[in-house]
Amino acid sequence: MARTVSVGVDIDALVHYHRIHGLPEGRASNAAWRDALPRFSEMFEALGVKATFYAVAADLAIPGNADRLRALVAQGHEIGNHTLNHRYDLTRMTADERVVEVGQGRYRLEHAAEAEVVGFRAPGYNVNADLLRDVAATGHTYDTSVFPCAPYYGVKAGVIGLLGALGRPSQSIVGTPRVLFAPRAPYRMDPNEPHTRGDGLPEFPVTVAAGLPMLGHAFTALGRRGAVAAAQLAARLHDHVTVEFHAADLLSLDEDRLEPALAAQRDLRVPLARKRETFEAALRALLDGATCVRLCDLRLGPPNEGARA
């Protein structure tokens, strides 16, 4: 079976990092859109990658961001829906509130990008059956929110607990531990339990290989050699690999003059050149002998048929 690789970028504006770390939102800049997107675009062009950029529709209110979205489409990239407002408590909202977050997010992104939006990624990787029914009902053809990574889940729970103890409550939520037992390979979800196989909406989980996630933040932490080794392992274990970056992965605290308190986001302390070198090396390792495909162009077989788990 031919190997495939899909690459995604969540365009989480820096205000969402302020919310995670309990920092004042008014100090957040637009650097994720203004500075990071051109860097990703340049890197992907050099590697021959056509990616999916998951955007938060509310960010389109900032002048210039809609133009940046259309520029990505013109370069052959896919636009995905990351909701209207990036609410971390999406799975806890009422049915009417969820439909607005999901449906209006898709509608506004399609209008701004002048392109079809069929993919969905939930804030914080948190999904449940009710949310995914809304995702399907609002015209999406796939989801890519499941992230079955125990180390990430544990760190996330620890950070949320620590911030609460310090009196700086995070707006993020832990989510269900059922995600840790979800399939690692692309699968069709059970409509009543999205973390198990069934005959519902296609799911493309963020790839985890032996506990190592194919995530920009993880690549930065591992360094160039470690990231390449992790990528090579994922290529051996999986017929399809879904890689996820965040726009902030190509930002630097000092070089981009970001809010100093964001030093709590440790990867922002790493120089840009080092991060880009690491990302390029990891992507080259994943793409070696594989075909890069946007998720909107990837098709699953019949229900319960999939790649190695």
Residue span of the structural domain in which 95 resides:
4-297
What is the bridge-based pairing of β-strands 52-55 and 78-81? parallel
Name the amino acid, one letter, at 282: A
What is the reported pLDDT for 22?
77
Q: Is the pLDDT of residue 225 over 80?
A: yes
What is the reported pLDDT for 151?
66
Number of domains in the chain: 1
Q: What is the pLDDT of residues 39-66, one digit of tens each?
A: 999 999 999 999 999 999 999 999 999 9
Write out the two tokens for 110.
């399609």
Q: Is residue 82 a part of any domain in this protein?
A: yes
Q: Is residue 39 a part of any domain in this protein?
A: yes
Determine the 3-state secondary structure of 59 from DSSP: helix
DSSP 70: H
Q: What is the pLDDT of residues 234-265, one digit of tens each?
A: 999 999 999 999 999 999 999 999 989 888 88
Domain containing residue 91: CATH number: 3.20.20.370
Confidence of residue 20 (pLDDT cuts 50, 70, 90): confident
Kindly state the average pLDDT of the residues 106-123: 97
Confidence of residue 177 (pLDDT cuts 50, 70, 90): confident
Q: What is the pLDDT of residues 126-167, one digit of tens each?
A: 999 999 999 999 999 999 999 998 766 645 444 444 445 556
What is the reported pLDDT for 228?
98
What is the reported pLDDT for 163?
44
CA 241 to CA 238: how far, in whole Å? 6
Q: Do residues 44 and 50 make contact, with C-beta atoms less than 8 angstroms apart?
A: yes
pTM of the prediction? 0.90
Q: Is residue 302 a part of any domain in this protein?
A: no
Q: Is residue 306 a part of any domain in this protein?
A: no
Determine the 3-state secondary structure of 194 from DSSP: strand
DSSP per-residue codes, 88-153: TTGGGS-HHHHHIIIIIHHHHHHHHHTS---EE--GGG---HHHHHHHHHTT--EE------HHHH
What is the reported pLDDT for 153?
60
DSSP per-residue codes, 221-285: HHHHHHHHHHHHHHHHH-SEEEEEEEGGGG--TTTTT--GGGGGSGGGGS-HHHHHHHHHHHHHH
What is the reported pLDDT for 168?
53
Confidence of residue 281 (pLDDT cuts 50, 70, 90): very high
Q: Is residue 305 a part of any domain in this protein?
A: no
Q: Is residue 309 a part of any domain in this protein?
A: no
Q: Is the pLDDT of residue 36 over 60?
A: yes
| Residue 214: C-alpha distances to residues 31, 169, 205, 246 (Å) | 24, 28, 10, 12
Residues 6 or more apart whose Cβ sits within 8 Å of residue 257: none
What is the reported pLDDT for 301?
67
Residue with more model confidence, 174 or 187: 187
Q: Do residues 294 and 189 make contact, with C-beta atoms less than 8 angstroms apart?
A: no
CA 9 to CA 2: how far, in whole Å? 24
Q: Is the pLDDT of residue 104 over 90?
A: yes
Q: Do residues 65 and 59 make contact, with C-beta atoms less than 8 angstroms apart?
A: yes
Share the mean pLDDT of the chain.
90
Q: Is residue 151 a part of any domain in this protein?
A: yes
Q: Is the pLDDT of residue 116 over 50?
A: yes
Residue with more model confidence, 285 or 158: 285
Confidence of residue 305 (pLDDT cuts 50, 70, 90): very low
Percentage of residues of the chain with pLDDT beyond 90: 75
Q: Do residues 298 and 17 make contact, with C-beta atoms less than 8 angstroms apart?
A: no
- Dihedral (C-alpha) 165, 168, 172, 173: value to the nearest 10 degrees? 30
Q: Is residue 49 a part of any domain in this protein?
A: yes
What is the reported pLDDT for 16?
84
